Structure 1
Amino acid sequence: MSQWTAFEVTVADHVAEVTLIGPGKGNAMGPDFWRELPEVFAELDADTEVRAVVLAGRGKHFSFGLDLSAMAGELGPVLAGDALAKTRTEFHRMVLRMQGATTAVARSRTPVVAVIQGWCIGGGVDLIAAADIRYASADATFSVREAKVGMVADMGSLQRLPAIIGDAHTRELAFTAKDIDADAALRINLVNDVLPDADAALATARATAAQIAANPPLVVQGVKDVLDWPLTGTVDDGLRYVAAWNAAFLPSKDIGEAISAIFEKRPPSFTGE
């Protein structure tokens, strides 16, 4: 396998393990993550010996989501508030490229089993929504956090979660941007099961991946293709729409206030401007 900056990848007994390793705190998703994720899955898809993938995060947390500090260079120009057509067009292209990273997980040739411990925020939820199966440790906490930072989630949560947890639960999470614990995630079917700790969750994911890998690989791929087919067009249309929406409307006083409040560790005060 290739060497990566944001991931560690191993393959054994027909199962690949893809582990988020940062380099941002809490496996936050910076430029390396968004560039490498589709490359990792393209390489795994090309390896016919791989029949299932386990997706995990190193350390106490799955992911803090988008690394605002690391992404400042890409986000800064459009967030300045006076972005014209060229800047907005470049931002739109960047969003489409980033969406392609989570879509690479959803389009994986083989089933993807995600393991979540600690925080799973924003982009972390986008990522696990692209997986086929999800296991959580008892300490896992989930948040579709984007509304609190002044933006519409645009990496796949709004498009994929309704098929997983239903429209009403998706709206509640996205409108409120609240945190939910592992038990609540299980009640709404965001995760398949909750295990006592991260080690148990990972062991369960590995066992499930091994069961998948023991089945005829072309049949498993066929099942995945058939299950994914009804959603593909709807998800793709939704991703294109939100990319265009954010390119047009993301710059605002409220997003600047949200980001300032995060770094100043204070509650934000939104004005709707």
Structure 2
Amino acid sequence: MTQHAWKAFTVEIKDHVAQVTLTGPGKGNAMGPDFWDELAPLFGELDADPEVRAVVLAGEGKHFSFGLDLQAMAPAMAPVLADKAQAAPRTDFHGVIRKMQNAITAVADCRKPTVAAVQGWCIGGAVDLISAADIRYASADAKFSVREVKVAMVADVGTLARLPRIIGDGHLRELALTGKDIDAARAEKIGLVNDVFADAEAALAAAHETAAAIAANPPLVVQGVKQVLDHTRKPAVDDSLRYVAAWNSAFLPSEDLGEAIAAVFQKRAPEFKGR
């Protein structure tokens, strides 16, 4: 694997297992421009590296990730949020969404299975990310939230496309329509995570143990198993992603979105009016 000075990640490879760790630079490993620029090429290199047979995905510090870095990503969203935005800014924004979708899809499409280890908060875009992993573990303090609805957005980079096959339609609708937080015990009960461990260290150790077990198997057969499992799911996921990208390009701009973003920065409850 070519050596890079990644800005949003660190990468360590040992015994055929790569650990990819989210490092920010936003608070709580929030997903800003560097994250979205680097995720696809990073997993593309892991996919192409014959020395890598499995990947562990982790977050640095107390939290896995706070999700989308709204402040850092504001410049990419500003043109389409302008009053009376026309076709050109909406087309550009559609491209931004598709780029973000492709970044998460690079994790799902990587032929090397990915095991996520989650501690602390896993919010919004971070749920999109772990939904693209093959296996998910959590520490007992982990908390999950499909929170886009709380900031007047339709989740558009993978959660709504991938979670139905992971947790089922009813559980997904509950999370996506309420934006509620759930703890690790609830996440395990509904199948969002495979197992819960006492702390972050134990969850990460379990992820490495599973990745090592995968790496010990014939690599081409492992890749074949993953590709067969993904074969029927992928067309539906791709169709969902294309649809939501078009939907948000057309309908994301709203007074409610502006109110939601203002409320976040002002640390107050938003007042939505359906405009």
**TM range, normalised to the smaller chain?**
over 0.9
Q: Is the 8 A contact 1:99 1:154 kept in 2?
A: yes
Could you tell me how far 1:3 is from its partner in structure 2? 1.6
Structure 2 residue aligned with 1:88: 90
Matches within 5 A, 1:106-121: 106-121=108-123
Structure 1 residue aligned with 2:73: 71
Structure 2 residue aligned with 1:133: 135
Matches within 5 A, 1:1-273: 1-273=3-275
2:182 counterpart SS class: strand
Q: Deviations along 1:206-260, whole A, 9 cap, x unmatched?
A: 0000000000001100100011111000000000000000000000000001011
Could you tell me how far 1:80 is from its partner in structure 2? 2.4
Which whole-Å CA distance do the structure 2 matches of 1:110 and 1:163 have between them? 20
Give me the identity figure in percent: 69
Q: Deviations along 1:2-28, whole A, 9 cap, x unmatched?
A: 220000011110000000000000000
Could you tell me how far 1:204 is from its partner in structure 2? 0.3
Could you tell me how far 1:267 is from its partner in structure 2? 0.7
Could you tell me how far 1:81 is from its partner in structure 2? 3.5
1:153 counterpart SS class: coil
1:39 counterpart SS class: helix
Could you tell me how far 1:66 is from its partner in structure 2? 0.4
Q: Is the 8 A contact 1:63 1:121 kept in 2?
A: yes
The one-letter code matched in structure 1 to 2:156 is: D
The one-letter code matched in structure 1 to 2:270 is: P
Q: CA RMSD in A?
A: 0.6
Which whole-Å CA distance do the structure 2 matches of 1:174 and 1:222 have between them? 32
The one-letter code matched in structure 2 to 1:271 is: K
2:155 counterpart SS class: coil
Could you tell me how far 1:171 is from its partner in structure 2? 0.4
TM-score (norm 1): 0.99
1:16 counterpart SS class: strand
The one-letter code matched in structure 2 to 1:239 is: L
Could you tell me how far 1:178 is from its partner in structure 2? 0.3
Structure 1: stretches of 5+ with no match in the other structure: none
Which whole-Å CA distance do the structure 2 matches of 1:179 and 1:42 have between them? 32
Structure 2: stretches of 5+ with no match in the other structure: none
Could you tell me how far 1:68 is from its partner in structure 2? 0.5
Which consecutive aligned stretches of 4+ in structure 1 deviate over 4 angstroms post-superposition?
Answer: none
Number of residue pairs aligned between Structure 1 and Structure 2: 273
1:136 counterpart SS class: strand
TM-score (norm 2): 0.98
Could you tell me how far 1:79 is from its partner in structure 2? 1.8
Q: Is the 8 A contact 1:186 1:193 kept in 2?
A: yes
